[in-house]
Amino acid sequence: MRILRLAKAAVAAATIAVSASSAHAAGSGIHYESQDWSFSGIFGTIDHAAAQRGYQVYRSVCAGCHSMNLVSFRNLEGIGIPEHTIKVLASEAEIATINGDGETVMRPRLPSDRFPAPFANPQAARASNNGALPPDLSLIAKARANGPNYLYALLTGYHEPPAGMTVSEGMYYNAAFEGHQIAMAPPLSEGAVEFSDGTKATVEQMAHDITTFLMYAAEPHMDERKRTGLKVVLFLFVLTILLYFVKKKVWADLH
């Protein structure tokens, strides 16, 4: 009985969770097409090559306006960037520190330091962006409903506004953004970066790759979590079979 009640409660909780998330997605009334992500599903993992290209897009385009305050350079190890490269990447941006005399001095960043932020404070960020605040991107892939598909749709969603719609000054039409007017100018244009692995930098490719990187940043331990989950399921499976035979053996004489 107790198990039954527990199962009922679990089903009820799951139903609430599912309906809550779909209600949230339906809130904006915009449909985001599902893209083909390496990290979807229980076996999905982050495609390192795509995430590395995504970091290149972040560093050369998005980092001009968006911070990623929760990410440190050494997190790049998780997408397969070698340690010596990380050291170089980190050292290219300085950070303020206090020296032995209590003075503030600048030193090159270390792999343990966080990514540098483009603006000193939110006011400065707004002042440079027509009053709008570019959000920190560390957790953005998780902070929006249908995160990865939404991000892809947003970055590829700049079009001419439909006939009859006027877009306010300093704003841009975007099919994926709620209200369809966004203060971010189209950040991606064909060939905006030159990928070191020779991949062609189309807007779609860059949108796909930066989204993969942002997904990794928002959940750096996803791959590990999925692997552990799989091991647990396998273990439980083997245990179930074992217990079945043990039970058979124990009860054999009693029949």
Q: Which spans of this chain sit near ligand HEC (rule: CB under 6 A)?
A: 57, 61-62, 64-66, 129, 132, 134-135, 140, 144, 151, 154-155, 182-185, 187-188, 210
Q: How far is the CB of 183 from ligand HEC (least distance, A)?
A: 3
Between 91 and 195, whose beta carbon lies closer to ligand HEC?
195
Q: How far is the CB of 134 from ligand HEC (least distance, A)?
A: 4
Between 110 and 192, whose beta carbon lies closer to ligand HEC?
192
Q: How far is the CB of 214 from ligand HEC (least distance, A)?
A: 7
Question: CB under 8 Å, gap of 24 or more: what pairs does 28-32 form?
Answer: 28/145, 28/178, 30/153, 30/175, 30/176, 30/178, 32/146, 32/149, 32/150, 32/152, 32/153, 32/176
Between 109 and 208, whose beta carbon lies closer to ligand HEC?
208
Question: CB under 8 Å, gap of 24 or more: what pairs does 233-239 form?
Answer: none
Between 58 and 73, whose beta carbon lies closer to ligand HEC?
58
Q: How far is the CB of 167 from ligand HEC (least distance, A)?
A: 12
Q: How far is the CB of 55 from ligand HEC (least distance, A)?
A: 11
Between 64 and 108, whose beta carbon lies closer to ligand HEC?
64
Q: How far is the CB of 204 from ligand HEC (least distance, A)?
A: 13
Q: Spell out the residues 6+ positions from residue 165 whose beta carbon is closer than 8 angstroms to its own.
A: 173, 180
For residue 169, count CB atoms less than 10 angstroms from its CB and return exposed for 0-12, middle for 13-18, buried for 19 or more.
exposed
Look-up of token digits 């991000």: 151
For residue 217, count CB atoms less than 10 angstroms from its CB and return exposed for 0-12, middle for 13-18, buried for 19 or more.
buried
**Tally of CB atoms within 10 A around 135:** 15
Classify 59 as helix, strand or coil: helix
Between 66 and 208, whose beta carbon lies closer to ligand HEC?
66
Whether the Cβ atoms of residue 140 and residue 68 lie closer than 8 Å to each other: no
